[in-house]
Chain A
Amino acid sequence: MQHEDPRNGESDHRSSKKPKLSSKFITESDIRDEFSHHHPRVARINNGSFGSCPGSVLTAQRHLQLQFLRQPDAFYFNTLRDGITASRKIIKDFINADHVDEVSLVDNATTAAAIVLQRIGRSFAEGKFQKNDTVLMLHCAFQAVKKSIQAYVTRAGGSVIEVRLPFPVNSEEEIISEFKKSIEEGKSNGRKIRLAIIDHITSMPSLVIPVKELVRICRAEGIEQVFVDAAHAIGSVKVDVKEVGADFYVSNLHKWFFCPPSVAFLYCKKSTSSSDLHHPVVSHEYGNGLPVESAWIGTRDYSSQLVVPAVLEFVNRFEGGIDGIMKRNHDEVVKMGKMLVESWGTNLGSPPEMSAAMIMVGLPSRLCLNSEEDAVTLRSHLRDRYEVEVPIFHQVSKDGEEGVRDKDGFITGYLRMGKCAKCFIRNEEAVMKVGAAFHGINICVLPSF
């Protein structure tokens, strides 16, 4: 029997033959454990839609939920507000905001859009804005944001300008140029652009937008306020709100930042007008500032907002923390995307530097994806038949414009590949599954590597 080193304390003598490596960082097996609640066979390459949450954070969340149920009054009076303030402070530091009063926690980016747009609507209703003053947005803005503009801006008499982004895109300059053109159009006929809504990372098709430059252009052109919809940003690109320079900036924490569903932060740069922002669900905190209003919107489960400190602990178990995760996600998704385009003979939707943890991969033209319905059908088919979860984008060809071709025809569809911190299925497995699925649809050869 081997002599035990007394410094080891109690230990299984059988394992003492192997050197005990104290792992500084989370291991692959730890990660599998953390995400063991994910469906074991589904190739989950759509982290962008609903995000993911590790087991240790879910445990922390449960603990908070039980604390509330155990003695809700005490929780309300003694724990809730301080807990939300603690989460807000963490976010404030993360995003380089000046003051914690600039950071509110809300359910999701959709709620944040309603907050900002409701105020715009009020300004029209109260005569501060003229009929036909304008709101500018990207044509591929998230559908909920478009509807929110309809509900609050158009209904109140405002008009909307859509910036048509080129896709596929080859450089940031193409986007900047379109943006400038739209501003010109917007200012024609004496209209004032009251608000510009710019995605930091568009949803479909997914691109990283040069927000800093676009915000600078907005300021130079006298656009009153800028709202950056960065639903996908935190945890996939660096977020520095002072650098970006917008008036409002929102990002979901449950997409790429491992929070349970759901929580987002809304940053509002301190100004005279920021005091007139209100949460649409009014409570007795009305008038005490948006962060305080948002921290109490009636009885509900606030645990996902309170669990941010546990999330930070999780993220810091990875080498390089969130920066390390972001870099690895990006490198891996680009690698995966390139594998597929090479075997399919198609193209990426953007150069790698304009993608973060998601990339658009051209689908073979032989799929004959001709409509939105086709895209939905294909997605369901991939889910039900091949256990692959991946959103499909239908590229509408512009009149008179030549689209991108592969050897068989025009490329009309893209899949949005998203990668998140080595979720259960490894890269190669995921790509194999996707390749096999399309092979099964009898379209193209399996990628070989």
Chain B
Amino acid sequence: MNSTSASAAVTPQPLFITPPEVFSEFSHHHPSVARINNGGFGCCPSSLISSQRQIQLQWLRQPDEFFFNQLQPGMLRSRNVIKELINADHVDEVSIVDNASTAISIVLQHMAWGFAEGKFRSGDATVMFHCTYGAVKKSVEAYFVRAGGYVIEVPLPFPVNSDDEILQEFRQALEKAKQSGRSVRLAIIDHVTFMPTVVMPVKQLVSICREAGIDHIFIDAAHGIGCVDVDMKQIGADFYTKNLHKWLFCPPSAAFLYCRKSNEISALHHPVVTHQYGNGLATESSWIGTRDYSAQLVVPKVLEFVNRFEGGIDGIKRRNHDAVVGMGEMLGKAWGTHLGCPPHMCSSMVMVGLPACLQVSSDQDTLKLRTYLRDKFGVEVAIYYRPPKDGEVGPLTGYARISYQVYNKIKLLELDTDTEKLLLLLLLLWIIDITGKKYLSLLQPKATTLPLSH
């Protein structure tokens, strides 16, 4: 019997994940919400949720056995996967923590001890950009300032036109610090800023820091992998943290903290202390008391998911970038506005100027507009208020931060369908001359009519 006779009828298996499969993986997302804020909380495909559930059930089935036999090897596996991904030298340099906020607390607590133990002097400084994430600023206040440190904030020009503008501001700030006689002990640099979002020239910023003799450089890359290239040796920082649930599809939540091997690495500690205290940060972080570690254990499966896409994580990143820049440019054109930075400084997110008629004039307004878009139109998008500078004429004060991730779909206007929705409704608002303040008043409890019923 010729067993190969059936082979003629066999259709070749698709090499990569298909659009219907992608749709299915994210079918748990709210079907009628235009989800253009992946940068906020990330996303997680169904197959990873299932893998995570299996791990959770394994724990619940026999927790002691899991604790003694499976947990540590599982964490080590995850750390090794990350080490490869980020081109770290040694797995000891990679710790897994809940999120970037935890990572910054670890590093800043270490700095606080520096003050308490006399390594640093009162008035020694940390330097960071003014748009550093709010939680990081608070952490600096809680640990660094409280212990006697001083903060130097570097203004981030925005809108920005080139890396040089950023590097210039940074150099100036360091120069001022030098002239005032302050020792800068720590530089905190975002790889991709949160709000407004811009890809920072981290490699050059790290060089400048080294030249200036800054002791410790911490890169907050909450939006790193999956969004920009991440290579620890190339970047050359002392500490680097990245959330894995934002752009690398992990369930909430998991992040890694990379700490370059040095004499100091053994002095870093997780703030939640267990019997593992003193065994190295990576070991300390992999047991911080009884809790659900499944999001951290599922990392190897994340790689499997990502490699179903053409080009793996690099392919996803590239396509996200191209799509979001395309969308941003089209919106900017339709609204007569512009992008917040040139395309090469965009990641998988882009800042698009909002029509001036929306009159965004405070942080409060951004929250109200965002809530309005969510509640009335099912559009989820983060809004940014950019305060006008002295002497500026007619600047744009509002920007939308558009994200693109694999679950967003390109359609009709060659826009993502969700962004289409945003475009159309804002065009409508503009056309029928609803001014900015009107939408704010429409948020009053008594408001019952939508402007579109006009």
Within 8 Å of chain B (Cβ to Cβ): is A191?
A: no
> Which residues of the other chain, B, contact A68 by a CB distance below 8 angstroms?
41, 252
In the assembly, what is the distance between CA of A133 and CA of B67, in Å?
A: 37
Q: Which of B358-415 contact A (CB under 8 A)?
A: 371, 374, 380
Q: Please name the residue on chain B nearest to A74 by beta carbon.
A: B374
Within 8 Å of chain B (Cβ to Cβ): is A108?
A: yes
In the assembly, what is the distance between CA of A42 and CA of B109, in Å?
A: 43
Q: How far is the CB of A129 from chain B (nearest CB, A)?
A: 13
Partner-binding segment picked from A22-30, A211-219, A296-304, A320-328: A296-304
Among the listed A69, A73, A285, which residue makes an inter-chain contact with B380, where contact means beta carbons less than 8 Å apart? A73
> Which residues of the other chain, B, contact A44 by a CB distance below 8 angstroms?
62
- Given A69-B29, A69-B49, A301-B253, residue A50 in contact with residue B63 (CB < 8 A): yes
The reply to whether B143 and A261 form a contact with Cβ atoms under 8 Å apart is no
Q: Which of B29-43 contact A (CB under 8 A)?
A: 29-30, 33, 35, 37, 40-43
> Which residues of the other chain, B, contact A270 by a CB distance below 8 angstroms?
none
Q: Please name the residue on chain B nearest to A70 by beta carbon.
A: B30
> Which residues of the other chain, A, contact B278 by a CB distance below 8 angstroms?
147
Q: Please name the residue on chain B nearest to A37 by beta carbon.
A: B60
In the assembly, what is the distance between CA of A39 and CA of B66, in Å?
A: 12
The reply to whether B98 and A300 form a contact with Cβ atoms under 8 Å apart is yes
Among the listed B142, B143, B245, B380, which residue makes an inter-chain contact with A299, where contact means beta carbons less than 8 Å apart? B245
The reply to whether A281 and B141 form a contact with Cβ atoms under 8 Å apart is no
Partner-binding segment picked from A148-156, A238-246, A354-362, A434-442: A148-156
> Which residues of the other chain, B, contact A58 by a CB distance below 8 angstroms?
60
> Which residues of the other chain, A, contact B116 by a CB distance below 8 angstroms?
125, 156
In the assembly, what is the distance between CA of A287 and CA of B252, in Å?
A: 25
The reply to whether B253 and A299 form a contact with Cβ atoms under 8 Å apart is yes
Within 8 Å of chain B (Cβ to Cβ): is A94?
A: no
Among the listed B64, B134, B135, which residue makes an inter-chain contact with A50, where contact means beta carbons less than 8 Å apart? B64
> Which residues of the other chain, B, contact A71 by a CB distance below 8 angstroms?
29-30, 33, 35, 380
In the assembly, what is the distance between CA of A41 and CA of B41, in Å?
A: 40
Q: Please name the residue on chain A nearest to B57 by beta carbon.
A: A37
Among the listed B28, B99, B135, which residue makes an inter-chain contact with A66, where contact means beta carbons less than 8 Å apart? B28
The reply to whether A111 and B290 form a contact with Cβ atoms under 8 Å apart is no
In the assembly, what is the distance between CA of A141 and CA of B427, in Å?
A: 65
Give the interface residue-count category, chain A. Answer: 35 or more
Q: Please name the residue on chain A nearest to B273 by beta carbon.
A: A148
Q: Please name the residue on chain A nearest to B105 by beta carbon.
A: A281
The reply to whether A284 and B99 form a contact with Cβ atoms under 8 Å apart is no
Q: Mark B33-61, 1 if CB is under 8 A from A, else 0.
A: 10101001111100001000000010111
The reply to whether B60 and A286 form a contact with Cβ atoms under 8 Å apart is no
Among the listed B60, B139, B273, B291, which residue makes an inter-chain contact with A38, where contact means beta carbons less than 8 Å apart? B60
The reply to whether B62 and A39 form a contact with Cβ atoms under 8 Å apart is yes
The reply to whether A76 and B289 form a contact with Cβ atoms under 8 Å apart is no
The reply to whether B60 and A147 form a contact with Cβ atoms under 8 Å apart is no
- Given A37-B61, A39-B61, residue A50 in contact with residue B290 (CB < 8 A): yes
Within 8 Å of chain B (Cβ to Cβ): is A114?
A: yes
In the assembly, what is the distance between CA of A46 and CA of B275, in Å?
A: 20
Q: How far is the CB of B47 from chain A (nearest CB, A)?
A: 13
The reply to whether B105 and A282 form a contact with Cβ atoms under 8 Å apart is yes
> Which residues of the other chain, B, contact A389 by a CB distance below 8 angstroms?
62, 64-65
The reply to whether B253 and A300 form a contact with Cβ atoms under 8 Å apart is yes
- Given A114-B273, A299-B245, residue A283 in contact with residue B380 (CB < 8 A): no
Q: How far is the CB of A187 from chain B (nearest CB, A)?
A: 26
> Which residues of the other chain, A, contact B108 by a CB distance below 8 angstroms?
282
Q: Which of A83-141 contact B (CB under 8 A)?
A: 107-111, 113-114, 117-118, 122, 125
Within 8 Å of chain B (Cβ to Cβ): is A366?
A: no
Within 8 Å of chain B (Cβ to Cβ): is A49?
A: yes
The reply to whether B29 and A70 form a contact with Cβ atoms under 8 Å apart is yes
Among the listed A66, A261, A286, which residue makes an inter-chain contact with B141, where contact means beta carbons less than 8 Å apart? A286
Within 8 Å of chain B (Cβ to Cβ): is A53?
A: yes
The reply to whether A281 and B101 form a contact with Cβ atoms under 8 Å apart is yes
In the assembly, what is the distance between CA of A9 and CA of B317, in Å?
A: 60
The reply to whether A261 and B252 form a contact with Cβ atoms under 8 Å apart is no
Q: Mark B289-311, 1 if CB is under 8 A from A, else 0.
A: 11110010000000000000000
The reply to whether B41 and A38 form a contact with Cβ atoms under 8 Å apart is no
Q: Which of B132-154 contact A (CB under 8 A)?
A: 134-135, 138-139, 141-143, 146-147
Q: How far is the CB of B270 from chain A (nearest CB, A)?
A: 9
Within 8 Å of chain A (Cβ to Cβ): is B269?
A: yes
The reply to whether B291 and A262 form a contact with Cβ atoms under 8 Å apart is yes
In the assembly, what is the distance between CA of A148 and CA of B276, in Å?
A: 10
Within 8 Å of chain A (Cβ to Cβ): is B234?
A: no
The reply to whether B101 and A283 form a contact with Cβ atoms under 8 Å apart is yes
The reply to whether A301 and B252 form a contact with Cβ atoms under 8 Å apart is yes
> Which residues of the other chain, B, contact A74 by a CB distance below 8 angstroms?
30, 33, 374, 380
Q: How far is the CB of A385 from chain B (nearest CB, A)?
A: 13
Within 8 Å of chain A (Cβ to Cβ): is B197?
A: no
> Which residues of the other chain, A, contact B245 by a CB distance below 8 angstroms?
299
Within 8 Å of chain A (Cβ to Cβ): is B328?
A: no
Within 8 Å of chain B (Cβ to Cβ): is A433?
A: no
- Given A262-B289, A280-B272, residue A297 in contact with residue B102 (CB < 8 A): yes
The reply to whether B40 and A261 form a contact with Cβ atoms under 8 Å apart is no
> Which residues of the other chain, B, contact A281 by a CB distance below 8 angstroms?
98, 101-102, 105, 271
Among B102, B274, B289, residue most surrounded by chain A Cβ atoms (within 10 Å): B289
Q: How far is the CB of A445 from chain B (nearest CB, A)?
A: 27
In the assembly, what is the distance between CA of A107 and CA of B42, in Å?
A: 22
> Which residues of the other chain, B, contact A46 by a CB distance below 8 angstroms?
64
Q: How far is the CB of B124 from chain A (nearest CB, A)?
A: 15
Q: Please name the residue on chain B nearest to A42 by beta carbon.
A: B62
- Given A73-B380, A107-B291, residue A38 in contact with residue B61 (CB < 8 A): yes
The reply to whether B61 and A147 form a contact with Cβ atoms under 8 Å apart is no
Q: Please name the residue on chain B nearest to A376 by beta carbon.
A: B68
Q: How far is the CB of B194 from chain A (nearest CB, A)?
A: 11
Within 8 Å of chain A (Cβ to Cβ): is B251?
A: yes
Q: Please name the residue on chain B nearest to A254 by beta carbon.
A: B290
In the assembly, what is the distance between CA of A150 and CA of B64, in Å?
A: 27
Within 8 Å of chain B (Cβ to Cβ): is A349?
A: no
Q: Could you pull out 6 A-B pairs where Cβ atoms are within 8 angstroms?
A: A51-B290, A66-B28, A107-B272, A111-B288, A280-B272, A299-B42
Taking A68-B252, A71-B380 as given, write out 17 further A-B residue pairs in contact, using a Cβ cutoff of 8 Å, ordered by the A residue number: A37-B60, A44-B62, A66-B28, A69-B29, A74-B374, A144-B275, A147-B277, A148-B273, A151-B269, A282-B142, A285-B138, A298-B98, A298-B99, A299-B253, A301-B252, A301-B295, A383-B64
Interface of A toward B, CB cutoff 8 Å: 37-39, 42, 44, 46, 49-53, 58, 66, 68-74, 76-77, 107-111, 113-114, 117-118, 122, 125, 143-144, 147-148, 150-152, 155-156, 252, 254, 260-262, 278, 280-287, 297-301, 304, 380, 383, 389
The 5 closest A-B pairs by CB, nearest first: A280-B271, A110-B289, A298-B101, A72-B41, A50-B63
